[in-house]
Amino acid sequence: MKPERKASVSDLEINKTIHEPARLKIMIYLFLTDFADFVYLMHQTGLTQGNLSSHLSKLEKEELVCITKEFVEKTPRTIISLTEKGRADFNEYRDSVLQLLDLSQM
């Protein structure tokens, strides 16, 4: 019977889409919520409108977030939420990073 091999740093895969600092911030704030709008995310992440918009587009392309647009009293509002895949991927990303940190302390 072969002894079970311990996971090494090279075994761990880090989701590069989430790993980017600005997108990681967005993912963390969305992970805490059911949904948030564009203005809320802008304040929390400290990103500019254009910057946040481009990061959200990238996350949407990867199917990590769901973006819906609506008009409230003639004002546009963009509601963003994590998809099931986004939530699962973020949990996976957290596990990978925690494992990596554990390995680095060995």
Partner 1 sequence: MNDHDLRKLKQEKLFFYLTVDGLAETGAGIFLVVISLVLLKMNFFIEDIKPATGFTEIAGSNAIPLIIPLFVSLVILKRKVTYPRIGIVRFRATMKGVILVVTCLIAVLLLSVILPPYIQPGIEGFILYAFLSLCLIVPGIQYRSFRFVLYGCMLMAGSALTVLLNTFLAQWMILFLSGVVVTVSGIVCLKRFLRTYPVLRNEKE
Backbone angles phi, psi at 45, to 5 degrees: -85, -20
Instruction: For residues 92 and 88, give the distance between their C-alpha atoms in angstroms, rounded to a whole number.
Output: 6
Shortest distance (Å) from residue 13 CB to partner 1: 18
Nearer to partner 1, 2 or 52 (CB): 52
Q: Which of 10, 1, 15 is nearest to 64 (CA)?
A: 15
Q: Which residues bind partner 1 (CB under 8 A)?
A: 28-29, 31-44, 49-50, 53, 67, 69, 75-79, 94, 97-98
CB of residue 76 vs partner 1: minimum separation in angstroms?
6
Nearer to partner 1, 5 or 74 (CB): 74
Q: Residue 60 or residue 62: which is nearer to partner 1 going by CB? A: 60
Nearer to partner 1, 3 or 76 (CB): 76
Read off the tokens for 46. Answer: 């400290």
Distance CA 13, CA 98 (A): 12
Structure tokens at 34: 């059911």
DSSP 65: E
Shortest spacing between CB 96 and partner 1, in angstroms: 12
Least CB distance to partner 1 at residue 1 (A): 34
